[in-house]
Amino acid sequence: MSTISALIGYPVKHSVSNYLFSLLANYAGIDDYHHLKIATESREIKKKIDSLVNIECIGFNITMPYKLRVMDIVSEIDDSALNSGAINCIKIKNKKMIGYNTDGVAAWQAISRNLKKPKIGETVLIIGSGGTARSIIEKTLEFGLKTCVLYRNDDEALSLKSFFSNRSMFSIEKLNDKILFDKLNEIDFLINTTPVGMKPDIVNSLVSSEIWNKLSKKRNLQTLYVLDVILNPHKTKLLKDAERYGANTTSGLWMMIYQGLEAFKIWTEFDLLNSIDLMSVFKRLKNFAK
């Protein structure tokens, strides 16, 4: 019998998750494993999810823009999702759905393993206010880091502000170039959670070359650590510009690998984190996310 997992969202064409889960299944010795990428418009989401339950799919990941919406359709919510108010991973067990969130864990694994482990009291700037941002914010606050969010969407920001209003180390402001420059001048970590820079929009970045140039004359950018959650291309314009001016960067492709490992463990109970060659996995996936 086939083992099936899936990715639901819109768009999903850019994702390399099918290659990742094929590799993980191979490492785990699971034969006849299939990972489906299902582009789903808003009106179809319940129908598509019901079909996955009916074919005995073991679980699926949720990507933009549905990470908040699926909170209402699961039977049970794990603390990882409850504490962030968003779901990006669902396990199907006995026809019931259990919601999790692996974004925050994966983002900070990518940063801690590839760049630097955060220290209590350091400052993080998160650009974006959607479902991905929520889980990263929750984990960032859990680490005792000062967390500032710059938002573009007023409705998302209102919901986010309400959700984290009782957290003393959390602040949120509307994104503009002046505020962005001021924040970049004082932070330790920058995380972009918006889709700006994702294929096919690869020439754009919310941090302009002008800001980077100006910033390089005000602070030592070698003490700035940057994650872009975008995985395709694996090196976005934001990351290229940051590197050009001396900042340290890591790709959203790494975050996706750690997300995949967490999801695979949730679905199959195989914990492969310390038993596979992660660099080999990254290099293979990089060929599909240029």
Residues identified as active-site = 67
Preceding peptide of 195 cis, ω within 30°: no
The answer to whether the beta carbons of residues 285 and 253 sit under 8 Å apart is yes
Instruction: Find, among 183, 199, 188, the residue nearest to 237 by Cα.
Output: 199
Phi, psi (degrees; rounded to nearest 5) at 72: -90, -5
Cis peptide before 11 (omega within 30 of 0): yes
Residue found by looking up tokens 């005000």 in the block:
218
Q: Which residue spans within the chain are E strands per DSSP? A: 3-9, 33-39, 59-62, 76-77, 89-93, 96-100, 123-127, 146-151, 170-174, 189-192, 225-228, 248-250
CA distance 53 to 289: 30
3-state secondary structure of 279: helix
**Cis amide prior to 65 (ω within 30 degrees):** yes
Q: What's the chain's length in residues? A: 290
Parallel/antiparallel/unpaired status of strands 225-228 and 189-192: parallel
